[in-house]
A and B are shown apart, each in its own frame.
Chain A
Amino acid sequence: MKQKKLNFQNREKLGLVIGIVVLFIIMSILAEGFFSWYNIHNLLRDSSILLVVATGMTLVILLGKIDMSAGSVMSLTAIVTTILLANGAHVVVALLAGLASGALIGLLNGYLVGIQKLDHFVTTFATMSLAKGLALVICDGDIINTGNNDFKAIGASTSVFLGLHVHIWIVAAIFAVMLFVLTKTKFGYRVYSIGGSEQAAMLAGISTRGTYILSFLISGLTASVGGILLASKANNGNATIGDGFEFSAIATVIIGGTPFDGGRGGLVGTLIGAILISLLKNGLRFLNITPSLQYVIIGLVILVVIITDVIINERRKLEELRRVEQ
């Protein structure tokens, strides 16, 4: 159905994009200092961290599952990486160790959900506690100073390449790779199939175990990357940096058009969702709205966006039914 370029999915995304543009214009007019390359660049930088975690999360949600451990993996990775750095380890070693910790949790998730067939929510909820707990034990409740300039350079504002910050490049690369994987490889096809209908996929001979394990592994890794980038901004290790991040990542994916039961949507939507949420948070700050009111507005926006999404979906389902009846 390639002719239908303006089908519902694209229309949703177009709507979101227009919404982003409108919000952007309004904020530029109302908020002093908002419309400057300095701020826009910071906006892109901040959204890149959300985006990278949401990228892995998109995979998991496409499968119809959820990864609640993302935030804690960020914290664990940050602690593992920074504590090695603080003890004199080479930056590459520390980074690899951090990524490994994320991979481990991801594999644990994949094993429990894919092979042991435990419920995904329970599992990732448990690993969330486990990862955070490990992070706390390792850092003994303290904040860790890395004392490492190489690590600091990853996050420093001056680390800019061709006008864009290092973080933006890293995340753009990861995003591009995942986009390719999801849309052009067999693995990506399997993800969409299982999300659409697990039973159908199994009957078609698709190995669900492998797909689950790999997807949770990727989710763990992207969360790890997010943790490293976040820690590099502050150049220290704090076991609380990932708190609540999984919720933001999940909201990003859902707002971007990938529904909870999966099978539809994808990374492009997630990208738009990440920009929208970051734009909202950044703009609200600039408008100097009191933090408590920001809570209210963000809650409202989430509800409004999702409500519209649902309404559009219902109309789509009705239209499809009508088409079938004809």
Chain B
Amino acid sequence: MKRIALLLLVAVMIAALVGCAQPAEQPAQSEAPAAPAAETKAPEATQAPAATEAPASEEPESQYKYPGAVGKKATMILKDLTNPVWLEAREGGLAAAEEFGMDLEVVAPIESNNNEEQIALVQQVIAQKKDILIMCPADSTGIVPAIEEVNAANIPVINLNTKINTDSGTVHYETFVVADNTICGTLCAEELVRLAGEEGEAVILEGPSGGQVTIDLSNAAQAVFKKYPNIKLVDIQNAKFDRATAFNTTQNLLQAHPNLKIIFSCNDEMALGAVEALKEAGKLDQVVVGGIDGNQDALKAIKEGTMEVTVYKNFWLQAYTAVEAAAKFLDGQKLDEKILVELEAVTPANVDKYLKN
């Protein structure tokens, strides 16, 4: 009997938490309109498609821009909601949804980047009979069977940030809003090579093995390094996207390759860890460090000169653009196959544009 009572208690707790969870969503939405005003500073500099700029500075009027989208239900599935960049994306998506009168749910797996959970979330979209899905897959091919189901259920799909692999020809999406990882990796690596005078030893710090983002970024960097005969890629190490691990790994790498000149890191966190290790070893001047993401820590480091380059992926704008594309589609408009959210490499020269103070 006690067990029944306790389980009932748990069920009541869940119900109560649900009651609490929903109001918590509202403040996020009402904050959102303020965000576009602050964000226009950055998007302007990245020369994003002009169309997205106008709505960002307009006040939402009673007349919605895409009448066909009003009241429609959408779900945005992200890879993860613990990393600040994805929280930014969520804000961007919710801002767009509020602006266009859509009902948007933003979800992500509990374990970040878990494909199986994302499949379950996709199935949830089908069960809940949503009008449109905005998908950012953790695993480009692993999500394909789930997308096939969505296609079969006649729910349109907007692909965000990481491409759904359409090689098999069995799935389709309406458009791909991308801040492409391959482009990111290339931009960053090219700048590092340039700073190193096109010669020297390089290492790549990767995220957890097998992740799509890491694979794309790492391959892009490797391709760039191959182009230059005097650049030698001496090592690739897995620092788990984690600052502390990258700290230790870099220390070890310095012992193996004392003449290291370039560190390419697949995210800013690891780059910052590497910077700390370089500081300790007194080798900050010898090595150029590049990261990806464009988070505030990294921007600060670039301003201080301890880090050389990062790539600002503007997650807020990516999500906003994706939701807007969804709204356009629901309104009956035709979409391009690809919508590029422009990226920019951030160096000491242009870092002030992005720094929030």
0 or 1 for each of B132-149: is its CB under 8 Å from A? (1 = yes): 000000010111110011
- Judge if A122 is at the interface, Cβ distance under 8 Å: no
Shortest CB-to-CB span from A298 to chain B, Å, is: 8
Are the C-beta atoms of A308 and B6 separated by less than 8 Å? yes
In the complex, are the beta carbons of B141 and A15 less than 8 A apart?
Answer: no
**Interface residue ranges of B1-38 to A (CB < 8 Å):** 1-4, 6-11, 13-15, 17-18, 21, 24
CB neighbors of A among B190-205 (8 A)? none
Q: Contacts A288-B107, A304-B6 given: A235-B127 contact, CB under 8 Å?
A: no
* Nearest-Cβ distance from residue B327 to partner chain A, whole angstroms: 21
How many angstroms between the C-alpha atoms of A142 and B215 in the bound complex? 7
Give complex CA distance A239, B8 in Å: 39
Measured CA separation A311–B2 after assembly (Å)? 9
Please, which residues of chain A bring their CB within 8 A of the CB of B82? 291-292
In the complex, which residue of chain B has the Cβ closest to the Cβ of A284? Answer: B14
Contact assessment for B105 and A236 in the assembled complex, using a CB-CB cutoff below 8 Å:
no
A201 contacts partner chain B, Cβ-Cβ < 8 Å: no
Q: Is the CB of A234 within 8 A of B124?
A: no
Among B142, B143, B210, max chain A CB count under 10 A is at B210
CA distance A311 to B1 in the complex (A): 12
Asked if B13 contacts A300 (CB within 8 A), the reply is: yes
Q: How many A-B contacts at CB < 8 Å in the complex?
A: 164
A236 to B109, CA, bound (A): 19
In whole angstroms, what is the CA distance A293 to B148 when docked?
Answer: 30
> Contact: A308 with B2, CB < 8 Å?
yes
Known pairs A23-B11, A143-B139, A143-B210; A293 contacts B21 (CB<8 A)? yes
Contact A30 B15 (CB under 8 A): yes
Q: Contact between A282 and B120 (Cβ–Cβ < 8 Å)? A: yes
Q: Which of A62-70, A149-157, A182-190, A204-212 contacts B (4 or more CB under 8 A)?
A: A149-157
Query: Is B208 interfacial (CB 8 A cutoff)?
Result: yes
> A155's contact among B3, B145, B212, B238, by CB below 8 Å, is which?
B145
A16 touches B3 (CB 8 A): yes
With A234-B139, A238-B210, A308-B3: A157-B127 Cβ-Cβ less than 8 Å: no
A156→B123 CA distance, assembly (Å): 13
Question: Known contacts being A18-B7, A236-B141, A291-B110, is A38 close to B126, with CB within 8 Å?
Answer: yes
Given known pairs A15-B7, A143-B141, A238-B115, the reply for A291 and B108 (CB within 8 Å) is yes
Say yes or no: A285 contacts B15, CB within 8 Å.
Answer: no
* B128 on the A face (CB < 8 A): yes
Interface residues of chain A, those whose CB is within 8 Å of chain B, are 11-12, 15-16, 18-19, 22-23, 26, 30, 32-34, 36, 38-39, 42, 46, 136, 139, 141-143, 145, 152, 155-157, 230, 233-236, 238-241, 243-244, 281-295, 297-298, 300-301, 304-305, 307-309, 311-312
Give 18 CB contacts A-B under 8 Å.
Answer: A15-B2, A30-B15, A136-B209, A143-B212, A155-B145, A156-B148, A235-B144, A236-B141, A238-B139, A238-B210, A240-B208, A286-B127, A287-B14, A287-B18, A288-B107, A297-B17, A300-B13, A307-B6
